[in-house]
Amino acid sequence: TFFPDVLTLPAGSSATFFCNISMEHNSGSEYSLNWYKETNHSQAQKIAEISRNNSQTKTEKYLLTNHTPAFKIRIMNLHQNDSGSYYCGLITFFEPNKVMESNRSQLVVTAAPEKTNATKEPEVEEDNPLDHIKAVLLGILLLAGAVLLLIFGYLTITYKRGDVQKPPSEKAPAKEEKPPEVFMSTVDYGVLEFQWDQRTQVPPETQPVDQTEYATIIFPEEKPVTPER
pLDDT at 63 over 70: yes
Please name the residues in contact with 50: beta carbons below 8 A apart, sequence gap of 6 or more: 32, 33, 56, 57, 64, 66, 71
Cβ of 16: how many Cβ atoms within 10 Å? Answer: 14
pLDDT at 20 over 80: yes
pLDDT at 76 over 80: yes
| pLDDT per position as a tens digit, 24-57 | 655 567 888 999 999 887 788 999 999 888 999 9
pLDDT tier at 210, thresholds 50, 70, 90: low
Cβ of 21: how many Cβ atoms within 10 Å? Answer: 17
| Percent of the chain at pLDDT exceeding 90 | 32
CA 104 → CA 44, 52, 85, 100, distances in Å? Answer: 11, 22, 6, 13
Give CA–CA dist 147/84, Å, rounded: 70
Mean pLDDT, rounded, for 194-200? 53
90 DSSP β-pair partners: 33, 100
Residue 93 is predicted with a pLDDT of: 75
pLDDT at 6 over 90: yes
pLDDT at 182 over 90: no
∠ CA(223), CA(224), CA(226), 5° rounding? 135
CA 122 → CA 54, 103, 125, distances in Å? Answer: 42, 39, 5
Residue 118 is predicted with a pLDDT of: 47
Could you give all domains of the chain from N- to C-terminal order, each with its CATH number?
2-110 (2.60.40.10)
Instruction: Give the DSSP H/E element, type plus range, for residue 172.
Output: helix 121-176
